[in-house]
Amino acid sequence: MEQGKISALQLALIMYPGILATGFISLPVITAIYAQNDLWLAVILSTVTGLFSIYLSIRLHELYPKQTVVEYSVKIIGSIPGKIIGVIYFLVFAHFVGVVSREYAEFVTGNFLIKTPILLVLSSIVLLAAFAARGGAEMIARCAVIFTPIFIIPLFFLLLLIPDLDPRNLFPVLSRGFVPVLKGSATPQAWLSEFFMMTFFLPILSNPDKGKKMALLTLICIIVSMTYVNLISLFVLGIDISDKVYPILIVFRYIRIGEIFENLEVLLLAMWIVGNFVKLSLFFYSAALSFTFTFKLTDYRTVIFPIGILSIIFGFWDIPNFSGLAYFLRVLIPFYLITMFVLIPLVLLIVATIRNKIAAGKGGSGP
């Protein structure tokens, strides 16, 4: 099992790109389809789900310290139901590795490496993430420390567009009411529910008392970053943002200062690569631990590469083309992730709380 230790700051550096890596590319257009110029409000509204997901992970960790969701599920609802949940989490994580790697490959081959086979691009990023996950939590944390600044720096180049921004695109606010904003917030809420994946790292924190504080700080940074990107995209592209496949890519192509700063979309590519590498490593590691704890293996490293092969299959299975992928991300992801990272943990917490109260009552009535 995992013997390494990571700090709360390292966990924050893992979770930031782990949640945002794909969000910068896809979330502006997904939220704009429903909310249009109110897409920034949809992001702010999703903060509630992020807070609730953090609360669930921290509270369950306090009740069952040194254990992950796969381990304490068995104690809360019994051996067989708990193992079923463990298998479900394993399949979800492995499947999501495939989905994220396919989204990564579609962007790279569609805009940069046009003649490169998509299987090659997808397999290469999965292989890199597999090596990182095989190295353990400390390896993922050290990669995040190096790559997260690279992930953040390109965002500051968007400030070069300040002379071209048109804040009037922000108005009128809520002209279509609150329901479109609520619909547009579904996907950001699903992304922020991934904070529950902290459950696989909380048992190995070297300073667990700072875990909650750093998680909340990470949530604030993510909300600010998502709102910032959405507003920049809106100010540059206007309400036509929902008609673009990759709005932020178009925005980066607008950046030009003289003959020196131009073609800066390569920065977005670098951001895309390192961010998805951290995200895939996070899901890879979680899938391996879920499988290992469910079937009581002695070492999670032995299942890393088989999971990689399974994830590559998932990356193509039932995703015939880019349109199918876009439909999955826009329509199915909200139900998919919120069920796994909010509803199931909520049920576990309710059952655990009831069991603890019953046990305390019996203990208090005894001699």
Distance from C-alpha of 155 to C-alpha of 230, rounded to nearest angstrom? 12
pLDDT at 365: 40
Judge whether residue 58 has pLDDT over 90: yes
| Token representation of residue 140 | 């993922």
Q: pLDDT tens digits, residue range 140-173? A: 999 999 999 999 998 898 988 898 899 999 888 8
Residue 82 in contact with residue 76, Cβ under 8 Å? Answer: yes
Cβ-based neighbour number of residue 239 at 10 Å: 12
Judge whether residue 361 has pLDDT over 60: yes
Question: What number of residues does the chain have?
Answer: 367
Judge whether residue 175 has pLDDT over 90: no
Judge whether residue 42 has pLDDT over 50: yes
Residue 198 in contact with residue 54, Cβ under 8 Å? Answer: yes
Distance from C-alpha of 256 to C-alpha of 262, rounded to nearest angstrom? 5
Chain centroid offset of residue 113 CA:
25
Q: pLDDT tens digits, residue range 221-231? A: 999 999 999 99
Residue 57 in contact with residue 210, Cβ under 8 Å? Answer: no
pLDDT at 195: 95
Distance from C-alpha of 28 to C-alpha of 169, rounded to nearest angstrom? 14
Q: pLDDT tens digits, residue range 116-132? A: 999 999 999 999 999 99
Residue 10 in contact with residue 137, Cβ under 8 Å? Answer: no
Judge whether residue 85 has pLDDT over 90: yes
Residues 170-174: contacts with CB under 8 Å, at least 24 apart: 170/37, 170/40, 170/231, 170/234, 170/235, 171/37, 172/37, 173/37, 173/38, 173/41, 174/38, 174/41
pLDDT at 1: 57
Residue 12, amino acid: A
Measured CA distances, 41 to 31, 50, 325, 330 (Å): 10, 15, 25, 17
Q: pLDDT tens digits, residue range 199-210? A: 999 999 999 889
Q: pLDDT tens digits, residue range 320-355? A: 888 888 888 888 888 989 999 999 999 999 999 999
pTM of the model: 0.93
Proportion of the chain above pLDDT 70, given as a percent: 98
Q: Which residues pair with 261 in a beta bridge?
A: 257
| Token representation of residue 217 | 């700080």
Residue 271 in contact with residue 126, Cβ under 8 Å? Answer: no
> Which residues are CB-neighbours of 173 under 8 A, at least 6 positions away?
37, 38, 41
Judge whether residue 367 has pLDDT over 70: no
Q: What is the mean pLDDT of the chain?
A: 90
**Span 257-269, average pLDDT:** 79
